[in-house]
Amino acid sequence: MTAHSPYLASLGEEDRKALEIRLLDRQTGHCFICDETIDLVLHGGQLDIDHIIPRADNGPDEENNFALTHATCNRQKGASDLRVARRIAEFEKLQRTAIGEGKRGANLGDVLGRYNGAKANLKLKRYPDAVEFTLTAVDKNDIRRVPLYKDQLSGMEYFFAVLPLEYLHHDDRINPRSIGANIRGLIEEFLQKRPQLHVALAWWSPESDGSGHIKIFDGQHKAAAQIMLGMKELPVRVFVEPDTNVLLVANTNAGSALRQVAFDVAVMRHLGSSLFMERVRQYKDMKGLPENNYSFSEKDLVAFFRGEHREMLRYIIDAVRDSITHNKDNGLMEFIEWAGKTADRPLAYSTIERTFFSEFIYMKALDAPLDNGMERGENARLLERDQIVRLMSLFAEIFFVGKWDPEIGGRKLENRLQKGDQIPENHLRAWRIAREEILANVLTWVRLVIENYNAYTGRMIDKERLLQYALPEDLWQRIRTFLNNLGALPCWIDKNLSNTVFGAKQNRDFWTDVFKTGKTQTGVRVLAEPLNLQTMIVNRST
């Protein structure tokens, strides 16, 4: 796979061979990615010339941005920045060596060993408010003085310093974990000149001669990524003569019970949507397209940013999700809690993702231009967005608007019911219908209503893209009728089912069986009879 390059395409066979020779000489006879030898005769026909910095990232299409690689190395790395691919190939060698030595994988100690680190101890001279040291192992004999701080809660003393790799060691007792695959993302992040937000944590205690290791116990991924990018020094926060057992407990808790909460899923979707728009802008800039030109497809974007094709697909779908949740016409949004399921709202955003979105958003890239059918109101993604918004709003109208009481909420609702509390029927119905395992099955039946209509009327529709085709108004009426009839089932307000059916969380299969058979697998009768699609789409009020 040779890079898509007008420059390379303009070269004749002899000029291309000459370029290969120049690149190989610049690379001292080695593959740019794996650093193994390249032989122009033995590897003839199995070599690639590729951009070091991808064109999609504004890399120039000129000789100083080309590298010669084994074709197999280039295929395995996809289309990522070759500087990243080179570091990942190097790290994979460290992994293989570490595993061959019986370890679970490479850690910061292996990276330090590869880059001439972990060679020296540090001597400290302590004062009440400062420490002094020299870096003689790297021929720096000047005396350095930095402030000494005290943690008021733990009582531990620490200082900040930028130290050469020679003085840094890995603590595999406090941090026994190996480095994971996310080092790739960190390498990419630092290559984009984004700063490290948190310094590595280390500790120091003197040995018999008064010197001691600076042992890093937290931040090994960030440290390793920076080292592999050529950093010779790293900033660290060093605890001085600490109780290492306390550090061990603190570090363990930080990675488990006290793990920091990530961005809410909804926030991540919004970020993904923004990244999608940014990629669209980049694509148009690189292709020289005018501002209002959207004649390219989602698949074109995925192919163009092929080094991050998985991320690109996620950005596309995130943009669809975000356009639905931030649509001013979406009547269901006021009943959704963005960061979980709380007492005063019946639905969590994560439930929406696993029900409405997983059931009706087409999760693959489209091959039609982004503006296809826009003027006729037939654009697939806009139809999908608008019709999911309409379905969610219909659901809100039937089950929640004027029925859900935030003052009553949902905290331990079934327990309160079992204890004799009087819960309004509309509120109880709304709470039960909103349970994820129930809602997922309800939407499966809504899908059946749509597919049944399409079959009956002879509409040939791709079932994976069900809502990317305009639904006729009489089909919308069928969906409304189905939901009304479903809501009228006595089970949603039957207080006697609180213990046996609604008291404990059930899975989707449980409600699949109930809707198909009318009862649970243990024989508890929930519905008078199994759901029947034909009777459920008949308006019973007429």
Question: Does residue 532 share a domain with residue 391?
Answer: yes
In a domain, 335, yes or no: yes
Domain-ending residue, one of 50, 79, 108: 79
Q: How far is 330 from 366, CA to CA, in rounded Å?
A: 24
In a domain, 206, yes or no: yes
Length of the chain: 542
> Which pLDDT tens digit goes with each residue over 254-299?
665 555 444 567 767 877 788 899 899 999 999 999 988 999 999 9
Question: Does residue 210 share a domain with residue 104?
Answer: yes
Question: Does residue 126 share a domain with residue 70?
Answer: no
In a domain, 422, yes or no: yes
Question: Does residue 166 share a domain with residue 72?
Answer: no
Question: Does residue 57 share a domain with residue 131?
Answer: no
Burial of residue 174 (CB within 10 Å: 0-12, 13-18, 19+) is buried
Question: Does residue 124 share a domain with residue 75?
Answer: no
Domain-ending residue, one of 28, 54, 79: 79
Report how far Cα 117 is from the mean position of its chain's Cα atoms. Answer: 33
- 417-420 long-range contacts (CB < 8 A, ≥24 apart) are 417/495, 417/498, 418/498, 418/499, 418/503
Q: What is the DSSP pairing of strand 347-348 with strand 336-337? A: parallel
Task: Write the CATH number for 68.
Answer: 3.40.1800
Helix (H) or strand (E) segment spanning residue 76 = helix 71-77
Question: Does residue 249 share a domain with residue 349?
Answer: no
Question: Does residue 409 share a domain with residue 482?
Answer: yes
Question: Does residue 391 share a domain with residue 350?
Answer: yes
Torsion, Cα 73 74 75 76, to 10 degrees, reads 50
- Domain region containing 425: 329-536
In a domain, 309, yes or no: no
3 state SS of 104: coil
Helix (H) or strand (E) segment spanning residue 270 = helix 265-287
In a domain, 67, yes or no: yes
Question: Does residue 170 share a domain with residue 37?
Answer: no
Q: What does each of the 542 residues of the chain score in pLDDT, given as a tens digit?
A: 456 789 999 999 999 999 999 999 999 999 999 999 999 999 988 999 999 998 878 889 999 999 999 999 988 764 478 999 999 899 989 988 988 887 778 999 999 999 999 999 999 999 999 999 999 999 999 999 999 999 999 999 999 999 999 999 999 888 888 887 778 888 988 988 888 888 999 999 999 888 999 999 999 999 999 999 999 999 999 999 999 888 887 877 766 555 544 456 776 787 778 889 989 999 999 999 998 899 999 999 999 998 888 889 999 999 999 999 988 899 998 899 876 555 678 999 999 999 999 999 999 999 999 999 998 999 999 999 999 999 999 999 999 999 998 888 888 899 999 999 899 999 999 999 999 999 999 999 999 999 999 999 999 999 999 999 999 999 999 999 999 999 999 999 999 999 889 988 889 999 999 999 999 988 999 999 999 999 999 987 64
In a domain, 313, yes or no: no
Question: Does residue 443 share a domain with residue 519?
Answer: yes
Number of structural domains in the chain: 3
Q: Which residues contact 265 (CB under 8 A, 6 or more apart)?
A: 349, 350, 353
Domain-ending residue, one of 254, 289, 314: 254
- 338-342 long-range contacts (CB < 8 A, ≥24 apart) are 338/264, 338/266, 338/267, 339/264, 339/266, 341/410, 342/409
Question: Does residue 72 share a domain with residue 155?
Answer: no
Task: Write the CATH number for 111.
Answer: 3.90.1530.10
> Which pLDDT tens digit goes with each residue over 455-473?
999 999 999 999 999 999 9
In a domain, 268, yes or no: no
In a domain, 174, yes or no: yes
Q: Give the predicted TM-score (pTM) of the model.
A: 0.65
Q: How far is 236 from 233, CA to CA, in rounded Å?
A: 10
